[in-house]
Amino acid sequence: MQLKNIAGPALVAALATFGTAATASLAGAADTSKAKADAAKPAADWALNATVIEACSCPMFCQCYFNAEPAGHGGKGHEGHGEGHFCKFNNAYRINKGHYGSTRLDGAKFWISGDLGANFADGEMDWAVVTFDKSLSQAQRDGITAISASLFPVKWKSLTTAEGNIDKWEFTKDEAVALLDSGKTAEVRLKRPAASGATPDPIVMKNLKYWGAPRNEGFVMMGPNVVEAYRVGPNAFEYKGTNGFMLTLDITSKDVAAAAKPAMD
């Protein structure tokens, strides 16, 4: 798996969200007028409905959805993983239906691994790696990159991309498995908690927003996890018995435009 800095047409759409310099400043004084003209063009029409198999290092359920500080780690429950506050995660996505402009995204898979850091009250997270499945075209990758900027409206100290083979992504009502490069790069295995074993369906948490997505079908409790691991590079990690869930989300460019529109006096 090779890492590289995010680049290409999709970066222009992501600049403001990810906290980088304004597009016009990149063009330089000589290209200011062109940059202004480009900025005035309407953004591509897009839509995304996707299901995620997700797990992180926090205890069940991840407190990051309610606080600006992840769970504290250290002590008997987390030997070998370091101490302090962090949320090291693996999110494996499969797009059920979607498009970016004329580019179809149905069936596309991508994976985000990272760490939210010790405190993200200022909207800045630690690091993330977005891994595209090898089957995706460059146009699909550009579309996913641009949409992700609205799905995750935060800043990252480090944000890179990679290519891999998401060779397993499947679930039933009782378990879910996602493998990146057959688990050599990353792995998530979830199992429905025993507490809900007597019910015909999993426990679902409703009325909780998932990042920038205005709609979701509820957080399907699938933890504590069996394992969640990112196994390459200097930030490799592995956890067992921590947070895990599944969720289907829905977001469109019209949602983002409506949220950005100033309220009428």
Q: Which tens digit of pLDDT belongs to each residue from 114-124?
A: 999 998 888 89
When pLDDT is cut at 50, 70 and 90, the band that residue 196 belongs to is low
Place of tokens 């006096």: 265
* Mean pLDDT, the chain, whole residue set: 83
Residue 23 has a pLDDT of 30
Is 248 part of a structural domain of the chain? Answer: yes
Phi-psi region of 132 (alpha: psi -120 to 50; beta: other; left: phi over 0): beta
When pLDDT is cut at 50, 70 and 90, the band that residue 198 belongs to is low
Q: What 3-state DSSP class applies to 174?
A: coil
Residue 159: domain span: 3-260
Per-residue pLDDT, averaged over 122-142, amounts to 96
Q: What is the pTM of this model?
A: 0.81
Does residue 197 or residue 129 have the better pLDDT? Answer: 129
Task: Please report, for residues 51, 188, 238, the alpha-carbon distance to residue 170 in angstroms, rounded to integers and kept in the order given.
Answer: 11, 11, 21
Task: Please report, for residues 64, 95, 112, 139, 206, the alpha-carbon distance to residue 250 in angstroms, rounded to integers and kept in the order given.
Answer: 20, 10, 17, 21, 15
Structural domains counted in the chain? 1
Residue 49 has a pLDDT of 98
Is 265 part of a structural domain of the chain? Answer: no
Is 51 part of a structural domain of the chain? Answer: yes
When pLDDT is cut at 50, 70 and 90, the band that residue 195 belongs to is low
Is 43 part of a structural domain of the chain? Answer: yes
Angle at 25 between CA 19 and CA 30, to 5 degrees: 165
Residue 43 has a pLDDT of 67
Residue 85 has a pLDDT of 80
Percentage of the chain beyond pLDDT 70 is: 77
Is 149 part of a structural domain of the chain? Answer: yes
Q: Is the pLDDT of residue 260 over 90?
A: no
Does residue 246 or residue 203 have the better pLDDT? Answer: 246
Torsion sign, CA atoms 145, 147, 149, 153: negative
Residue 197 has a pLDDT of 57
